């Protein structure tokens, strides 16, 4: 901004700087900052690692690859990158900027902009709370696998009972261990079955770790983030080199990057791409606002937004390369195993086949079946489910099953076998760390707003402990034998659709209520430059319009389909369609969608009618009581006295004395 010369005359400061915020805004910012005893990050690296750790989480490792596979491989990357540019990065930047400017949590930020918008902050807190309830359960699952990794062979390497446990024989050792040993899942959501004590202890351990790391606020979680945000990249790099050197890795990578272009015509692909952007970047949770509120005001939040968003999306793609290289290896291994089993069937039941030393291959097994299925029942009834590499890749990925079934099965086949525990420990420690770094930001999106808004007036440590205890007790619903069904409900409905609604109102509130010009002045003060045309066009038009389109598509999709769920069938040893949820399960889906978002109109009405007045000080009121100043000396000489109506009478008199 150049060198600044301040001249004081008759109580009014004059500056030779023509660009920048008006004097009233500049003094307002500087007075706030000088009087602010808010905690701060130790350094910029700690802040960036916290933002990266919050944005990069479990969704980058198993959710993104699953959506990419289901929606056409490389074709999914096209809408994903488009949504990143027109929705993800712009909203991400808005949250960093407004948090850094106002230096408050998500509730008080919106109250200070306009008390009628206070419901946006409350909705953010509600979403963060609901997501934290189930997100830490996944960390508990990681803890269970981590503790079981300190043995060789791994407990999911073979079926127990030497072939007597039919549930395992019909499925696989890894699927059996996940559904029976870990979750001990019930047959349906209606069968609660009581508490799984092993899983309850693991969930308790996860909450204990989070509580200890959060107990001192950013001073402790900021220190922990040096490890939790960087360690996953070390492990992913190790798995990258291990994965791409496996036989069959190329098949998996080809499946990932070769697009099925016809998928681009499906609106659901675009809907899921946008949903993944919001969930992955953690926008509309409030945690980004809380983290950035601990920054000094003169910090380049524009650069931070772009850097963190690119790192987050790059991590998703890099993790997909690691995952699909392993899945390609697994698909090839399963295909060979299936063909070998069919070879045995042909040798034992078709005399001519064995006598002629014929071999079953991936190119001829279906022709052989077509030739001999009418002459032998064993050939006719053979299950070819895993003989096709393409079929294995199509059915390999599925939500949490990616980490807890597919990847553990692939680790069973890493050589040498004695290294299985080492790979398992690294992988599940990485998953736990991804979850922990995101949990810090999610809980910060609850704790900071409650304290800044004056709702909690006691020591922060007590709030952290109380919040963790309450979340653990409510989260016992996920420790039931039907807990995995409940987690699917929370994962599908609490952290997806509400984020879209909150982000829309957030965009409107900042750009059209707070004001784009005012935001531009703030960014000039904080970063040294005003937003360019890209930011203005996306904030004013592209971002809100695209969210409205996705909102309409989501409403149509949900209104035209029956909400069903899948579950484990112990008799068949596989996941099957369980049909529609019971009425109370379906109602819970709608409650999770509506509960956070209803705070937006509710607070608006209560404030508008005076039933819940805001007793704090808004930014507008703060500016009125702040001494105006810092009018450009050059511009002052060009202005008429009648143009200075925005200033108080006293200040106008002092300025009048300076006019020629």
Q: Which residues are annotated as a binding site for Na(+)?
A: 53, 55-56, 60, 280, 312, 434, 438
Which distant-in-sequence residues (6+ apart) come within 8 Å of 647 by Cβ? Answer: 628, 655
| Residue 37 structure tokens | 């005893």
Instruction: List strand residue ranges (DSSP E) for 537-637, in order.
Output: 564-569, 574-580, 631-632
Query: What stretches of 395-496 show up as alpha helix (H) in DSSP?
Result: 401, 407-411, 420-452, 460-474, 483-493
| Residue 20 structure tokens | 């920048």
- φ, ψ of residue 13 in degrees (nearest 5): -85, 135
Task: Determine the Cα angle at 364 with ends 360 and 365, to 5°.
Answer: 60
User: Checking phi first, is residue 613 left (phi over 0); if not, alpha (psi -120 to 50) or beta?
Assistant: beta
| Residue 442 structure tokens | 């999610």
Which distant-in-sequence residues (6+ apart) come within 8 Å of 120 by Cβ? Answer: 106, 110, 502, 505, 506, 509, 600
The C-alpha atoms of residue 417 and residue 447 are separated, in whole angstroms, by 45
The C-alpha atoms of residue 265 and residue 196 are separated, in whole angstroms, by 44
The C-alpha atoms of residue 558 and residue 315 are separated, in whole angstroms, by 30
The C-alpha atoms of residue 114 and residue 514 are separated, in whole angstroms, by 8
CB atoms within 10 A of CB 603: 24
The C-alpha atoms of residue 653 and residue 262 are separated, in whole angstroms, by 70
Q: Binding site membership: which residues?
A: 53, 55-56, 60, 280, 312, 434, 438
Residue 125: exposure state from Cβ atoms within 10 A (0-12, 13-18, ≥19): buried
């Amino acid at each position: 901004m150049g060198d600044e010369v301040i001249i004081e005359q008759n109580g009014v400061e004059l500056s030779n700087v023509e660009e920048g915020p008006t004097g009233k805004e500049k003094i307002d910012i500087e007075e706030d900052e000088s009087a602010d005893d808010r905690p701060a990050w130790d350094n910029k690296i700690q802040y960036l690692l916290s933002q990266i750790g919050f944005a990069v989480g479990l969704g980058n490792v198993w959710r993104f690859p699953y959506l990419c596979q289901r929606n056409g491989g490389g074709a999914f990357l096209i809408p994903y990158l488009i949504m990143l540019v027109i929705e993800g990065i712009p909203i991400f930047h808005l949250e960093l900027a407004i948090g850094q400017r106002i230096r408050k949590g998500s509730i008080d930020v919106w109250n200070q902009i306009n008390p009628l918008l206070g419901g946006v902050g409350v909705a953010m807190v509600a979403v963060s709370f609901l997501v934290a309830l189930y997100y830490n359960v996944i960390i508990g699952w990681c803890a269970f696998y981590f503790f079981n990794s300190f043995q060789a062979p791994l407990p999911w390497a073979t079926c127990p009972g030497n072939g007597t446990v039919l549930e395992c024989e019909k499925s696989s050792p890894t699927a059996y261990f996940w559904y029976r040993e870990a979750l001990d899942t019930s047959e349906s959501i209606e069968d609660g079955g009581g508490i799984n004590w092993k899983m309850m202890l693991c969930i308790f351990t996860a909450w204990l770790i989070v509580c200890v790391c959060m107990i001192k606020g950013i001073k402790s979680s900021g220190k922990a983030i040096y490890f939790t945000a960087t360690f996953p990249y070390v492990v992913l790099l190790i798995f990258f080199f291990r994965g791409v050197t496996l036989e069959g890795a190329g098949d998996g990578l080809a499946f990932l990057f070769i697009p099925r272009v016809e998928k681009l015509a499906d609106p659901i692909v675009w809907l899921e791409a946008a949903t993944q952007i919001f969930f992955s970047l953690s926008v509309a949770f409030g945690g980004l606002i809380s983290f950035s509120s601990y920054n000094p005001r003169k910090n380049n939040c524009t650069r931070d937004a772009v850097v963190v968003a690119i790192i987050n999306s790059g991590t998703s793609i890099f993790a997909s390369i690691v995952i699909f290289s392993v899945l390609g290896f697994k698909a090839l291994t399963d295909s060979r195993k299936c063909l070998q089993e069919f070879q045995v069937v042909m040798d034992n039941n078709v005399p001519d086949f064995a006598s002629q030393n014929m071999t079953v291959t991936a190119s001829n097994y279906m022709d052989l079946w077509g030739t001999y299925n009418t002459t032998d029942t064993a050939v006719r009834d053979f299950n070819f489910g895993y003989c096709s590499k393409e079929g294995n890749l199509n059915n390999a990925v599925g939500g949490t099953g990616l980490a807890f079934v597919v990847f553990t099965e692939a680790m069973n086949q890493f050589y040498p076998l004695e290294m299985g525990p080492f790979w398992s420990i690294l992988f599940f420690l990485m998953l736990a760390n991804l979850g922990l770094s995101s949990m810090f930001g999610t809980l910060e999106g609850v704790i900071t707003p409650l304290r800044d808004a004056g709702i909690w007036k006691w020591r922060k440590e007590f709030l952290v402990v109380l919040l963790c205890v309450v979340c653990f007790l409510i989260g016992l619903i996920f420790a039931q034998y039907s807990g995995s069904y409940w987690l699917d409900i929370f994962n599908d409905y609490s952290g997806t659709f509400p984020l879209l609604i909150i982000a829309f109102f957030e965009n409107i509130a900042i750009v059209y209520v707070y004001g784009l010009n005012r935001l531009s002045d703030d960014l000039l003060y904080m970063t040294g430059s005003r937003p360019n045309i890209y930011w203005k066009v996306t904030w004013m038009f592209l971002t809100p319009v695209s969210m409205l389109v996705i909102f309409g598509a989501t409403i149509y999709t949900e209104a035209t389909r029956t909400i069903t769920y899948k579950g484990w069938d112990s008799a068949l040893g596989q996941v099957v369609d369980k049909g529609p949820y019971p009425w109370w399960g379906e109602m819970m889906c709608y409650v999770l969608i509506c509960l956070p978002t209803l705070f937006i109109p509710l607070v608006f009405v209560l404030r508008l009618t005076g039933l819940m007045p805001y007793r704090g000080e808004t930014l507008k009121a703060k500016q009125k009581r702040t001494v105006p100043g810092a009018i450009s000396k050059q511009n002052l000489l060009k202005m008429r006295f009648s143009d200075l109506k925005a200033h108080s009478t006293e200040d106008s008199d002092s300025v009048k004395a300076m006019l020629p």
